Amino acid sequence: MCGIIGYVGRNAATPVLLGGLRRLEYRGYDSAGLTIQQAGGLRTLRAVGKVARLADKVRAEWVEAEVAAGHAGIAHTRWATHGAPTEANAHPHSDATGRIRLVHNGIIENYRHIRAKLEAKGHVFASETDTEALVRLIGEYHKGDLRQAVIAALRRVEGAYGIAVLSAAEPGVIVVARKGSPLVIGVGEGECLVASDPAALVAHTRRVIYLDDGDVARVTADSVDITDLDHAPIDREIAELTFEAGAVEKGGHAHFMLKEIHEQPETVGNALRGRLDLVNGTAVLSGMGATARELLDFQRVVMVGCGTSLHAGMVGEFALEELAAIHAEVQPAAEFRYRNPLVDGRDLVVAISQSGETADTLAAVREAKDKGAVVMGLVNVVGSAIARETGRGVYLHAGPEISVASTKAFTGQVAVLLLMALKFGRGRRLSGERGQALAAEIARLPKLIEAVLAQDAAIAAVAARMAGHDHAFFLGRGPMHPVALEGALKLKEISYVHAEGYHAAELKHGPIALLTPGMPVVVLANRSPVLDKVLGNAEECRARGARVIAVVTDGGPPVAVADDVIRIPDCDPLVATIPAAVALQLLAYHVARLRDCPIDQPRNLAKSGTVE
């Protein structure tokens, strides 16, 4: 996933573009570049590495008057898919004449074919990218009207794209198009912006137009003209962004990840707001659009997602089976889409995604719809592809998540899945009394999370004793097994510690051979029906010299084998998954901080996978 920003208007484009790139850097940070339209033509600068390197280059190579003169431009921050992160592969790319430049998110699948044809005509490619094939093709079709040339080229490409294009021949015009990769237009006073993410726009305007697949827009300082690929005009409404500019700032925290961890009492509160019916012990999820009758009729709930969202689904699986006695399962979205899944109209398929743009999850949605299943989204980003394609579901209301490592989205997803399980349960077999008790427990979540956050210093001290180790295990059983997987994922992605999440009982079936004296083993040993078993598993690790870090219920029995203890407040074992996850997020954060890792932008990662 990469980031796109474009600007046309009364202000100098360069500072706006660099500011937008900084906001988008979490989407990819291998290399960056920008093109500015000036009286003499197009000027491009590109740099390997972070946006700061590009900004240094602009300062060193462009005089101030040049910067001030460019009022239209496009820019890109890259997460490499085709070709290494080099300056030659960085965007913007150019057509053969040098008079058209393009930035692109996504993948042009038939680029080899296009490239071969263009090379046969004499084109000499300057990069290894799929993108260059597209811009050169646009150049081939260009007869003076940029949008027409873009449409002609797009009709010949296969794959996914969000693009922004400039031509030296059309000053003050940016042409943008999308298919499978998000693009949004910001409509300001005497200026317009385009971006792959509204986070880059909110400092300039709150009025936005979300493009749909197949849209092509010609954007000037004071007009947005949208057509489809057949040149038929399209009307899209202007929407208002609901989050503040501050939501995409660090707000005094050292990292976005830490800020987002600390936001969780509020974000989980937002996910629950207006959705808990404490009197009837149920949940109100109008976005699901399911009647009580429909809930009874579903034979199965199948959840699909990737990474952290997959782990949230695994917690949901336990909650749905325990509370609603419905067959529930979770599948990696990338697997679901290719395995010819056995779903039909009696199944509910729930697509779980923070971004709402993950390619595999979106493809799973399409596959499930083709098979006739009822499909819902459990999504954070409003108006995202999955939200739109599912048409119904539940938003997380967690606000923009900038850190590549997902935190507040996970707890929001689990909170909503608990609500879903409660609603299903009350529609099926859960008693009013149990429903009320559980609803009351779920309502405590913001306070439960606050209690974990209050132990930040104690968790940092545990992290200090862990930070020197390059390997770690995370163990859990029942709904804490996915929390263990998530804790391990957090640690490995931001601290580069090799961490394995395991079912506590599975350890002795092989991986226990890896235990060495002093190796940290984080054991989720909260109050639960299987606590004794978990403690037994912890003993097995301790007996082999491992260092046991136990996540325990405050006020619960002492855990004799624990070298370190992290306390979570006493609560229902399903609900406890959320405070436990928050504790592990803090643990991973502090280990990464002590190891001096680039926490918000870990190597090789980007915020979400819009390519397979």
**Measured from the CB atom, is 226 or 591 closer to ligand M6R?**
591
Number of residues that bind ligand M6R (CB under 6 A): 16
Which residues, at least 6 apart from 290, have a Cβ–Cβ distance to it below 8 Å? 348, 374
Whole-number Å distance between alpha carbons of 139 and 2: 23
Nearest C-alpha neighbor of 531 from the set 539, 521, 541: 539
Work out how close the CB of 525 gets to ligand M6R at its nearest, in angstroms, rounded to a whole number: 24
**Measured from the CB atom, is 357 or 564 closer to ligand M6R?**
357
How far are the Cα atoms of 473, 484, 502, 503, 506 from residue 511, in angstroms, in the given order?
A: 9, 15, 9, 11, 8
Total count of residues recorded for the chain: 612
Nearest C-alpha neighbor of 273 from the set 56, 442, 391: 442
Q: Is 212 exposed, middle or buried (0-12, 13-18, 19+ CB in 10 A)?
A: middle
How many alpha carbons lie under 13 Å from residue 437 in its C-beta half-sphere?
10
Of 12, 609, 610, 611, which one interacts with ligand M6R (CB under 6 A)?
A: 609
Work out how close the CB of 384 gets to ligand M6R at its nearest, in angstroms, rounded to a whole number: 9
- Sign of the dihedral through C-alpha 261, 263, 269, 271: negative
Nearest C-alpha neighbor of 462 from the set 402, 509, 522: 522
- Select the span of 26-34, 52-60, 365-373, 402-410 touching ligand M6R (CB under 6 A): 402-410
How big is the CA angle at 14 (ends 11 and 17), to the nearest 5 degrees?
Answer: 100
Of 131, 406, 528, 601, which one interacts with ligand M6R (CB under 6 A)?
A: 406
Catalytic residue, candidates 2, 192, 541, 597 = 2
Map residues 10-49 to x or -, x wherever contact with ligand M6R holds by CB under 6 A: ----------------------------------------
**Measured from the CB atom, is 137 or 578 closer to ligand M6R?**
578
Instruction: Verify whether residue 597 is a known catalytic residue.
Output: no
Nearest C-alpha neighbor of 421 from the set 345, 293, 298, 326: 326
Whole-number Å distance between alpha carbons of 331 and 539: 32
Q: Contact between 81 and ligand M6R (CB under 6 A)? A: no
Work out how close the CB of 47 gets to ligand M6R at its nearest, in angstroms, rounded to a whole number: 25
Strands 374-379 and 471-476: unpaired
**Measured from the CB atom, is 264 or 308 closer to ligand M6R?**
308
| 3-class DSSP state of 178 | strand
Work out how close the CB of 248 gets to ligand M6R at its nearest, in angstroms, rounded to a whole number: 16
Whole-number Å distance between alpha carbons of 468 and 462: 12
Of 14, 77, 267, 354, which one interacts with ligand M6R (CB under 6 A)?
A: 354
- Select the span of 104-112, 145-153, 240-248, 304-312 touching ligand M6R (CB under 6 A): 304-312
Instruction: Verify whether residue 192 is a known catalytic residue.
Output: no
* DSSP string over 282-321: EE--GGG---HHHHHH--EEEEEE-HHHHHHHHHHHHHHH
Whole-number Å distance between alpha carbons of 97 and 142: 10
Of 14, 31, 129, 309, which one interacts with ligand M6R (CB under 6 A)?
A: 309
- Select the span of 55-63, 159-167, 353-361, 391-399 touching ligand M6R (CB under 6 A): 353-361
Do 313 and 417 touch, CB atoms closer than 8 A?
Answer: yes
Of 21, 154, 343, 405, which one interacts with ligand M6R (CB under 6 A)?
A: 405
Q: Return the structure tokens found at 41.
A: 């033509």
- Select the span of 13-21, 87-95, 401-409, 466-474 touching ligand M6R (CB under 6 A): 401-409
Q: Contact between 105 and ligand M6R (CB under 6 A)? A: no
Q: Contact between 487 and ligand M6R (CB under 6 A)? A: no
**Measured from the CB atom, is 73 or 106 closer to ligand M6R?**
106
Work out how close the CB of 392 gets to ligand M6R at its nearest, in angstroms, rounded to a whole number: 18
Q: Contact between 331 and ligand M6R (CB under 6 A)? A: no
Phi then psi for residue 185, to 5 deg, are -110, 130
Q: Contact between 601 and ligand M6R (CB under 6 A)? A: no
Work out how close the CB of 243 gets to ligand M6R at its nearest, in angstroms, rounded to a whole number: 17
Which residues, at least 6 apart from 358, have a Cβ–Cβ distance to it below 8 Å? 305, 306, 309, 333, 386, 608, 609, 610
Nearest C-alpha neighbor of 15 from the set 154, 166, 204, 199: 204
**Measured from the CB atom, is 132 or 197 closer to ligand M6R?**
197
- Select the span of 99-107, 172-180, 398-406, 453-461 touching ligand M6R (CB under 6 A): 398-406
Whole-number Å distance between alpha carbons of 476 and 583: 14
Of 67, 306, 442, 525, which one interacts with ligand M6R (CB under 6 A)?
A: 306
In the range 365-394, which residues lie near ligand M6R by CB under 6 A? none
Q: Contact between 330 and ligand M6R (CB under 6 A)? A: no
Four-point Cα dihedral 601, 604, 606, 612, nearest 10: -170
Of 14, 31, 353, 585, which one interacts with ligand M6R (CB under 6 A)?
A: 353
Residue with smallest beta-carbon separation from ligand M6R: 307
Longest CA–CA separation in the chain, Å: 78
Q: Contact between 89 and ligand M6R (CB under 6 A)? A: no
Of 361, 390, 526, 537, which one interacts with ligand M6R (CB under 6 A)?
A: 361
**Measured from the CB atom, is 282 or 354 closer to ligand M6R?**
354
**Measured from the CB atom, is 188 or 400 closer to ligand M6R?**
400
In the range 108-137, which residues lie near ligand M6R by CB under 6 A? none
Do 351 and 341 touch, CB atoms closer than 8 A?
Answer: no
Map residues 492-521 to x or -, x wherever contact with ligand M6R holds by CB under 6 A: -x----------------------------
Work out how close the CB of 611 gets to ligand M6R at its nearest, in angstroms, rounded to a whole number: 11
In the range 162-221, which residues lie near ligand M6R by CB under 6 A? none
Of 308, 390, 411, 553, which one interacts with ligand M6R (CB under 6 A)?
A: 308
- Sign of the dihedral through C-alpha 301, 389, 304, 184: negative
- Tell me which residues touch ligand M6R (CB under 6 A): 306-309, 353-355, 358, 361, 404-406, 489, 493, 608-609
Please give the positions annotated as active site: 2, 607
